Structure 1
Amino acid sequence: MQWFFLVLGGLAEVAFAFCLGKGKLAEGLEAMGWYAAFGACAALSFYLLHLSLAQIPLGTAYGVWTGIGAVGTALLGVLVFGDPLTGPRLFFLATLIGSLLGLKAVSA
């Protein structure tokens, strides 16, 4: 169950980064709504990380949590915000995903 919490927490991290990006592009009340959603997603993400620490070592949990956030945010940047997707970028995202899977494999 703790790995489930950790993955959800990583996805909530992607959501708070998305809200931050959308808020930057918005104005007035719309921007405030995105920033409020950012705060809610950030709180949820940290809470889920906290729950995962009941069984997963801190270094592993934090590495996986931030890795999910990094990969997910990079993919959202490409799909939603028009960030470039180059060969080297794909290579390093793939190595990051491999590292996350490796951490999962060597953790209890």
Structure 2
Amino acid sequence: MNAWKNRQSGDPAFQLKRAIAKDAYYANAWIYNPDTDRWFSPEEFMQDGNLITIHRGADNTHKFKIRDPKTGILEKSKRVTEAQRELNEFIERVDRYYELKAIRKQK
């Protein structure tokens, strides 16, 4: 166990991941990944398999955003509302189509 812990603590990517989690923790915020549209508490972020890449010209740290999770709730709520509106419009269009089709058949 100690060998694993020592290896992790010396890893720059692990150190950066821990720094992101600490920043979020002290800001009373969560970490958001817009690429996957997933939210992580600081603890979840450390336990999850998110890989931080900071070598060989690859740096993906910019994709992790420290944000207030309440904004995520509002954004997802708006998307659900919009999706529901689009679904209702589609249902109405389908209903109208088949109503007109039935009327045309009666003629």
Q: Same fold (TM over 0.5)?
A: no
The structure with the largest strand share of the pair is 2
TM-score range relative to shorter protein: under 0.3
- Bigger Rg, which one: 2
Relative contact order (alpha carbons < 8 A, sep ≥ 6): 1 or 2 greater?
Answer: 1
TM-score (norm 1): 0.27
Greater helix share, structure number: 1
